[in-house]
Amino acid sequence: MQKFAIVSKKDEKSHNVESKIRQKLEENNFVYDKTTPNLVISIGGDGTLLYAVHLYKDRMNDVKFLAIHTGTLGFFTDYTEEEIDEAINDIITNKEYEVFESRLLEGRINGEEIFYALNEIRIENICKTQILDIYIDKEFFETVKGNGMCLSTQAGSTAYNRSLKGAVIDSGLEVMQLCEIAGIQNAKHSSLGNPYIMKSDRKVSFVCDDSTGAYVCFDHIYIKSDDIKVITCKLSEKSVSFIRFKKYSYLDRLRNLY
C-alpha cells in the first residue's frame, strides 16, 4: 500500500494543487499518512522541497520525493502546475521511474547535535568580520576573514553557491564545494579566494575564537550562537531519493534557472 504525504507552500495556488492531488490519490487507494509516508510530494518551489526534506530527514531510507512547481520550474521540481494531471497519472499508474539520489551534508556545532543540509551549510556574519580557521581532514588549511563560508553539495551548487560565483557542479558528481562569502583580501590578509571543489570523503572544520553575531545555516534552518567554537562538516550517509518519472535533463534544469 502506498502511503503519501504532501508538503505545500502556504499560498492559494499550491493549496489548490494539494487538494486536487490528495483527492485523486485517495480515490485510487493511496493512503494519506503524514507520519510514515513512502512518497512525499512537495508543491511550491525548490524552497518547499527543502522544507519537505528537513521535515522527513529521519525517514530518508523509507521516503521518495516528487516535487511540483507552482511558479516557474525549479531545480528539484519535475512538473509545473499545468502538468499536474500527468504527475497524478504517473503516480497512480506507477509508471516506470528512475531514482536520483542526492547526498546530504551533515554538520555539528561544538560536537553536539547533527544537522543536515541538502544545499549547503553556511557560517554567516553580517554584523562583524568573521574570522575562521579552516581545517580539512584535521590539517590546517587557511584563515579566512569576511562574512563567512559556504560549503555546498552538488545539488546546492546552483543555489547560494552560485550567487557566490561558485561553480555549477554537474549531476552525478559527488563532491563538496567551499566558497568564501565576501572574503576580505588585502595587503594584510589574503586567502585562496577561489571556490575549492573537494572530494566526497573530505571532512571540513571551521574553528573560531569569536562568533558574536554569527549564524550557522543548514539550508533554510538557522542557528544563532555567540558560543560557536567549531563546526565540523562532511557528506552524510543519508541521501534524498527523488522519483524521476520523466526525462528532464540536467541541462534543461540548468537553463530553466536563469
Residue 46 annotated in active site: yes
CB of 2 to ligand NAP, least distance (A): 26
DSSP 187: S
The gap from C-alpha 154 to its chain's centroid, in whole angstroms, comes to 9
3-class DSSP assignment, residue 178: strand
160 touches ligand NAP by CB under 6 A:
yes
- What binding mask, one character per residue, do residues 28-47 give for ligand NAP by CB under 6 A, x or -? -----------------xxx
Terminal Cα-to-Cα distance of the chain (whole angstroms): 40
Q: What number of chain residues touch ligand NAP (CB under 6 A)?
A: 17
Q: Which of 258, 63, 56 shows the shortest CA–CA distance to 168?
A: 258
DSSP 34: S
Q: Which of 158, 4, 160, 10 shows the shortest CA–CA distance to 70?
A: 10
Query: Nearer to ligand NAP by C-beta: 141 or 248?
Result: 248
Q: Which of 148, 136, 160, 139 shows the shortest CA–CA distance to 228?
A: 148
CB of 63 to ligand NAP, least distance (A): 19
The gap from C-alpha 102 to its chain's centroid, in whole angstroms, comes to 9
Torsion angle (degrees, nearest 10) of CA 145, 115, 102, 71 = -80
Contact 37, 63 (CB under 8 A): yes
195 touches ligand NAP by CB under 6 A:
no
147 touches ligand NAP by CB under 6 A:
no
Query: Nearer to ligand NAP by C-beta: 30 or 57?
Result: 57
170 touches ligand NAP by CB under 6 A:
no
219 touches ligand NAP by CB under 6 A:
yes
Q: Which three cell numbers stand for residue 238?
A: 543519508
- What binding mask, one character per residue, do residues 104-143 give for ligand NAP by CB under 6 A, x or -? ---------------xx-----------------------
67-96: contacts with ligand NAP (CB under 6 A): 74-75
Among 23, 28, 143, 163, which residue sits at the site for ligand NAP (rule: CB under 6 A)? Answer: 163
Residues 6+ apart with CB under 8 A from 133: 140, 142, 143, 206, 207, 208
255 touches ligand NAP by CB under 6 A:
no
Query: Nearer to ligand NAP by C-beta: 74 or 107?
Result: 74
178 touches ligand NAP by CB under 6 A:
no
Contact 134, 183 (CB under 8 A): no
Among 156, 166, 183, 195, which residue sits at the site for ligand NAP (rule: CB under 6 A)? Answer: 156
Residues classed as catalytic: 46
Binding site for ligand NAP (CB under 6 A): 45-47, 50, 74-75, 119-120, 155-156, 158-160, 163, 219-220, 257
